[in-house]
Structure 1
Amino acid sequence: MDMDNVTAVFQFLLIGISNYPQWRDMFFTLVLIIYLDTLLGNGFMIFLIHFDPNLHTPMYFFLSNLSFLDLCYGTASMPQVLVHYFSTHPYLSYPRCLTQMSVSLALATAECLLLAAMAYDRVVAINNPLHYSFMNGPVCVCLAATSWGTSLVLTAMLILSLRLHFCGANVINHFVCEILSLIKLACSDTSFNELMILITSVFTLLLPFGFVLLSYVRIAMAVIKIHLAQGRLKAFTTCGSHLTVVTIFYGAAISMYMKPQSNSSPDQVKFISVFYGALTPMLNPLIYSLRNKDVKGAIRKECFIFAFCFSKHL
């Protein structure tokens, strides 16, 4: 296409749920409930882990990082979806679109790597309990910082490699600016960008997911050797929550980024992204709190303290 004879595009129209008008009100209500639950659930987990000394362990340090990530990840996209409900023509400029996309990608990548770090923590705790003291504060901070730093580097590489020209189509069939949907609108050659997405997906999805699977194979082999039923139950309980989160998050992301795009309809991609971009941040604190005895004990203690303080002021 002759780039001199086309009109450059500087803003994009997000379709969102407008192609399903009968679902509009229900979708707005659902997103609002999910976002409020995300804020309250993850905010409460951070508060609980910070103020309860019994939760000052490596596992809960990573869990507080995960809650903070989920809180930020939900805030990067869901408020925009809610605001666009009241707009007849929800347009975004290209710089705003790129900024929102960059933040979401960095946070999602950090979560992928952090889940792998949490798997490593569980391997050390169960396979080498006598050496678990190795997972002290500096090591945990280093693993978390590596997750954050690597996510920023990979996201920067991906975003800086974008050399897209838009010259006509400006309608994104999505709720937010998402890189696969954006690339489909480009009238320039996108083969290099698609290759970069594949390469970064290998480092952020396949390799961490493979590491997590291998970690749980090692954990399963160690648990089988535990003779006491109570010990096996405790090991499965502490790992079950993490494995549930991993399955939900990695499963949805891999199905979206690691299969040929020609096999996916735009609406399918759009709703899969809602599953791991909105539901996962909401479900994580519920999964960990409902399946974890330590967290439930900390919740009961904080509720007792709150009730005691409240009764004194009556």
Structure 2
Amino acid sequence: FLCLSNFSLSFPPLEDNHALRQQMSNSSFPHEFLLLPFADTRELQLLHFGLFLGIYLAALLGNGLILTAIACDHHLHTPMYFFLLNLALIDMGSISITVPKAMVSSLWDTRTICYAGCTTQVFFFVMFVAAEFYTLIIMAYDRYIAICNPLHYGTIMTSRTCVNMAAAVWGYTFLYAVLHTANTFSLPLCQGNTLDQFFCEIPQILKLSCSDAYLREVGLLFVSAVLASGSFVFLVLSYVQIFRAALRIPSQHGRHKAFSTCIPHLSGVSLFIVTDIFTYLKPPSMSSSSLNLLLAVLYSVVPPAVNPLIYSMRNQELKDSVRKLMTG
């Protein structure tokens, strides 16, 4: 659904901002955007296509196996695996928004993405990233209740509660994505149509704005960051309590089981959050097209591909279920 076009807009030099705004006063919404290419030579473009194809197929296979194993094995119909199923769905969606378009661009040697395609990318990427963050928060809460308050786990984390929490995440992130997408693409864009990224991303689109109205979206992003920081503090405090409780478990088997369910989740959270924080809070002096591309791959492509490995590596129940599924 991310369309391509061979039509290319041309813009006058950016130095004369007044003349530029006058010339583009009637065309503040480009018909297409130009994405940042991974490589200039044909050999490297094909190498990038092959690399991304391998990562994409691995992500679909890994997350698809987790989805199928959890859905088919009634032993895995517990809150922890229910939220892991949601995470696998989110990962499949998020990587499908960015990687296929990047592969097509490298294979066909094109940089363009149409306005509707760019809008679609922004909407779904924002929704899936926000959904992944809050799903990880809920998974931390689930582990906190299971380890720190095990006697009341069954009454707190009921099936109805889990479904309601998952529905709240999807509903909230849908509205969140609608708000940011509508707000971003309502801005007049008079600073060209070239994005310094391999997919459509809100911060890169805001750089094209020729109006102070972009500060409205910056304000919304700041409020979102503050709310996310509060959730992050909750996550850190939860894991402090989790590890304290796990260390007090008398049996070695009990401690091993507690850590085997928590460490993969903590690894996934760390990979997702650290790359995001570094991407958006790095000093301007470190900003470059190559670094932006590398960081974008780390936070948008790598987590969906490695999460299946992270969550199944130390989880014997899930490994047994996946093995049973693959062997028929």
Please say if 1:155 is aligned against 2:155.
Answer: no
Question: Quick one: which of 75, 95, 100 aligns to 1:54?
Answer: 75
* Mapped partners of 2:120, 2:246: distance in 1: 45
Q: Secondary structure at the match of 2:33?
A: strand
Give the alignment's Cα RMSD to 1 decimal. Answer: 1.9
Structure 1: gaps (5+ residues): 307-314
Amino acid at match of 2:58: D
* Mapped partners of 2:110, 2:259: distance in 1: 50
TM-score (norm 2): 0.87
Amino acid at match of 1:242: H
Preserved CA contact (<8 Å) 1:73 1:107: yes
Amino acid at match of 1:158: H
* Mapped partners of 2:128, 2:286: distance in 1: 27
The equivalent residue for 1:212 is 235
The equivalent residue for 1:239 is 262
Question: Quick one: which of 213, 225, 233 aligns to 1:201?
Answer: 225
Q: Secondary structure at the match of 2:190?
A: coil
Please say if 1:73 is aligned against 2:97.
Answer: no
Return the offset for 1:19: 4.9
Q: Which moved more, 1:272-281 or 1:154-163?
A: 154-163
Please say if 1:138 is aligned against 2:160.
Answer: yes
Residues 41 and 301 from structure 1, CA distance in 2 versus in 1: closer, same or farther, beyond 3 angstroms? same
Amino acid at match of 1:195: G
* Mapped partners of 2:244, 2:41: distance in 1: 49
TM-score (norm 1): 0.90
The equivalent residue for 1:6 is 24
Return the offset for 1:87: 2.8
Q: Secondary structure at the match of 1:92?
A: strand
Amino acid at match of 1:88: D
Please say if 1:28 is aligned against 2:28.
Answer: no
Return the offset for 1:227: 1.9
Structure 2: gaps (5+ residues): 1-16
Return the offset for 1:168: 4.6
Return the offset for 1:241: 0.7
The equivalent residue for 1:255 is 278
Count of residues paired in the alignment = 304
The equivalent residue for 1:101 is 122
Amino acid at match of 1:243: L
The equivalent residue for 1:311 is none
Return the offset for 1:58: 0.5
Residues 299 and 86 from structure 1, CA distance in 2 versus in 1: closer, same or farther, beyond 3 angstroms? closer
Preserved CA contact (<8 Å) 2:65 2:322: no
* Mapped partners of 2:238, 2:91: distance in 1: 23
Q: Secondary structure at the match of 1:172?
A: coil
